Structure 1
């Protein structure tokens, strides 16, 4: 018996099959080409993501090790801050506006004004931001009303794939809590808040517990992929929480350091710092499919995307960069970098307009100095955030190990 996981990332779709004991059987990766038609804009094409999903899924299930240990279940992990309109047949009606896209700031302000910041943290674990799926829905309705008239759903990557794979648009609570229409106390959609913002609850995905089987793989896809018609589609979770659980950050006191396009910290905890402290540091709070049941999340858009930008600009292949970083020695770079290429979310308050910069460049500065400085800047943002959480005046998070 094997299990298949599909991860929809900002720059690629990754699919892997594992034995029930955790042994990797096969993996595949397919890049997704981002579109940046204007400064500050970032879109991914759901049609391309679906094609990448089928391609990687096909590659994995054809692997010899997987054919000897056929999968019985498929689940998805994805970001919870990206969504787009979808029609009755499950076909996307537009591009997905990605998390770092700067459109929608005016909606962010008007939505957040409905409640005091501390109250927002109490009811949904965060203050509505432009990338909140509910705000994205409002943005689409304002700018493309004709498209929204045709939409049956407004879905993120997870529920888009569960719909295409199994016929049901389903998400879990870690993903659902990224909507400001989610209610932490009720553990579901807030009908009162949906009515307040004139949002149709039928457009939102169903909420089910993490790990629950909710559908059977469509017969046409099972036949196309050479899989048994009994393969189940199970509920996955927010990509950060999936990575944290997979790395052992499930219970109180174990912090997950998650390195990808975004650079994140996830702290499973039963001792939640006060909402005021979370607001100060720039963190959010929500359900976690681990032992602790809840977690503090520190999410930064400045991760490998920044390093990849620098490598591309400077013409440094990844293999060569690793060797050059080793050769540069243990001392810090002589260049200082602020890596806020998409603004800053943690640990700086009100720093969304912060931008990247370098200090200390000379004619002797090398390409490696620049990349190393960016990596150090990313790390120090995370270190400062972790220290702020650990030493919160109201009783910090229990961070025994990473």
Structure 2
């Protein structure tokens, strides 16, 4: 029987990656294209839609060429995309703006207004998208108030995935998953929310048609099919967001399975059978399929915190790594391993970029707390490792309140390459931590969803039998007790500094004027 291959196409924040998979998950070919982040003003974060579209074409073409498979053997392609992007386009589909991405904070005042009015919380409860500058809802409000000419000219407000699909197929469709991350989509009605539309000042005609994540697109424009090396009838499955597909890609879709990802940033997610929002507004709720809803929260402060400390303060470890010909992070983490759990009373609150879940506080700032004369650089390294995990743990607490305790934790991302860091996670959470072999969870999740939509995978729950676990870590209960005590202090420090965060944030803004 002829082998069939499936492609996972992941349009991320820093690059687009296309991976050709066999149905069992083996990688046959990879195409990866990087692109820049544009910061035209402080707190703005944008990307050029045309640059990303070109990256999609190039990544697909490269992956297929490297896989060296007949184009007729490509059974389907699934989309994965970063959430919360917004592009205003005119009646011809040409961009009137760059793609305003999740990291953009220009709409802070619109968020503040939504929260003060009280309407923001009701929109969150209906849509599952926290009221935060990352969300397309306040971004549209900002365009209406600060760029009225662009707002009036806009025929559609779309995400980067919708832009790519429109270029490839000439259709404006958005999957329920990406729609559920806009702040404009009613979770239970699976349709645009009238209240949110009114607040944004737009009509449903200015948004794409919502479709299930398993929706199949055919009839790609011939010139793009030829450029990539595909048949025009190759089916594309509209797919979902990168976050929910990461759960699928590591096999964390059963009740009680928690997925933790720590790369540059971090996230904690678990799957529930129906939409759940948090009365305290701590978590998101996004759709994977109509029977699988992903609740969780993102943290701004993942591995980027360790990179910051490496670049600014860890030059001895960097020099030692150069002499040994190894990764500086390995030397840093090895030094931290000799420090007891809890860094002998040194805490790091890693809010250098503000924080999203569970606090949703863009004004939060980072701090070391508890510094004593006995603390050395290795203590600070250990505190940074633990502080990143404390921020993730705080999201896990919110999920426990909403969905019950975890049965297992599956972890992925760059941090998972470190045995020591994985063990700290197990100790802190008090659960066994499993590390799936695949490091391309969103791309693989996109390919798996495409297989399911096209009939090559009957039940999504079969995925867990396809994922190989490469490492397991059991918690040390004594260290778990230490972390429990310190987390209580960590949260007290955060809440006691709320007014100070606001004051120092305002002071820092004045410096940037």
Q: How much does 1:312 deviate?
A: 4.9
Q: Where in structure 2 are the equivalents of 1:177-216 lying within 5 Å?
A: 177-195=180-198, 197-216=200-219
1:58 to 51, 58, 61: 61
1:98 to 93, 98, 101: 101
Q: Unaligned regions of 5+ residues in structure 2, if any?
A: 410-513
1:295 maps to: 294
2:349 to 332, 338, 342: 338
Q: How much does 1:294 deviate?
A: 1.6
How far, CA to CA, are the matches of 2:305 and 2:35 in structure 1? Answer: 17
- Per the alignment, in what secondary structure is the counterpart of residue 178 of structure 2? helix
Change (3 A) 1:118 1:195: closer
Which shifted more, 232-241 or 66-75?
66-75
Change (3 A) 1:204 1:308: farther
2:327 maps to: 320
Q: How much does 1:138 deviate?
A: 2.0
2:365 to 325, 332, 355: 355
Larger radius of gyration: 2
- Is 1:306 matched with 2:293? no
Q: How much does 1:98 deviate?
A: 2.5
- Is 1:133 matched with 2:136? yes
- Is 1:386 matched with 2:396? yes
- Is 1:169 matched with 2:176? no
**Root mean square deviation of aligned Cα:** 3.0
Contact 2:90/2:156 (<8 A) preserved: yes
Contact 2:57/2:224 (<8 A) preserved: no
Give CA deviations for 1:219-263 in whole Å, capped at 9, x if unaligned.
111111221121122111111001111111112111111233330
Which shifted more, 52-61 or 243-252?
52-61
Q: How much does 1:273 deviate?
A: 6.7
1:230 to 228, 233, 239: 233
How far, CA to CA, are the matches of 1:377 and 1:5 in structure 2? Answer: 33
1:397 maps to: 404
How far, CA to CA, are the matches of 2:386 and 2:376 in structure 1? Answer: 16
- Is 1:33 matched with 2:36? yes
Q: How much does 1:37 deviate?
A: 3.5
How far, CA to CA, are the matches of 1:21 and 1:76 in structure 2? Answer: 19
Q: How much does 1:26 deviate?
A: 1.4
How far, CA to CA, are the matches of 1:104 and 1:283 in structure 2? Answer: 20
Change (3 A) 1:309 1:96: farther
Contact 1:271/1:397 (<8 A) preserved: no
Give CA deviations for 1:262-316 in whole Å, capped at 9, x if unaligned.
3001111248777324x2xx212232338x5222121112223334444455675
Q: How much does 1:56 deviate?
A: 1.6
How far, CA to CA, are the matches of 1:133 and 1:356 in structure 2? Answer: 27
Q: How much does 1:195 deviate?
A: 3.8
Q: How much does 1:103 deviate?
A: 0.9
Q: Unaligned regions of 5+ residues in structure 1, if any?
A: none
Task: Tell me the matched-pair count.
Answer: 393
Contact 1:10/1:261 (<8 A) preserved: no
Contact 2:180/2:286 (<8 A) preserved: yes
Give CA deviations for 1:188-244 in whole Å, capped at 9, x if unaligned.
112454245431222212211112203332211111122112112211111100111
Contact 2:174/2:208 (<8 A) preserved: yes
Structure 1-normalised TM-score?
A: 0.86
Change (3 A) 1:132 1:64: closer
Which shifted more, 325-334 or 197-206?
325-334
- Per the alignment, in what secondary structure is the counterpart of residue 289 of structure 2? coil
Of Structure 1 and Structure 2, which has the larger fraction of its residues in helix? 2
1:284 maps to: 284
- Per the alignment, in what secondary structure is the counterpart of residue 327 of structure 2? helix
Q: Where in structure 2 are the equivalents of 1:239-254 lying within 5 Å?
A: 239-254=242-257
Change (3 A) 1:75 1:252: same
Contact 2:114/2:120 (<8 A) preserved: no
How far, CA to CA, are the matches of 1:184 and 1:84 in structure 2? Answer: 22
Change (3 A) 1:375 1:154: farther
Q: How much does 1:122 deviate?
A: 3.2
- Is 1:42 matched with 2:45? yes
Give CA deviations for 1:116-155 in whole Å, capped at 9, x if unaligned.
5653343112443222212212212322222233333211
Change (3 A) 1:213 1:181: same
**Larger RCO (CA within 8 A; separation ≥ 6):** 2
2:80 to 77, 80, 86: 77
Change (3 A) 1:205 1:58: same
Q: How much does 1:68 deviate?
A: 7.6
Change (3 A) 1:5 1:371: farther
- Is 1:262 matched with 2:262? no
Q: How much does 1:20 deviate?
A: 2.2
